[in-house]
Structure 1
């Protein structure tokens, strides 16, 4: 699976817009989406010395769709075009 971590707010806005468009094309009457991300650094020290240093980043998207009066909500972390397409299909 290919993961994509968009670097800018405009990239993220484009990802969300594309996801909503895909959900509508898949049959959703309406849809909304939000994107989230985090960047973490953890430092462990023992007796004045750095013992561990860890870095983690993550990004994901939530999608809510409305189809024939029903609501579905899904989340995913694959922000590639293929990942967004799979997420939209799964929601609808």
Structure 2
């Protein structure tokens, strides 16, 4: 599949790419994904869903064009202490948005 790299901090200036999983060896497929064809189908469905449901952002180089926002198709590990911090901060960010 896709290389494991941290996401960019500024999504408006990032260049995202959709690389076919078929080009990757099967040993790099995510756990639970049986083949590159299944992985490609998951990516295609995810991008289509994002486009149809408004999970989009403007391209930095062309403000009249949209790309899908980054998303995860599969669960990922997340440290429990960081989840607690995010949970505590969520109401504060909600207050900022509501103002």
TM-score (norm: length of structure 1): 0.31
Structure richer in strand, relative to its length:
1
Structure richer in helix, relative to its length:
2
TM-score (norm: length of structure 2): 0.29
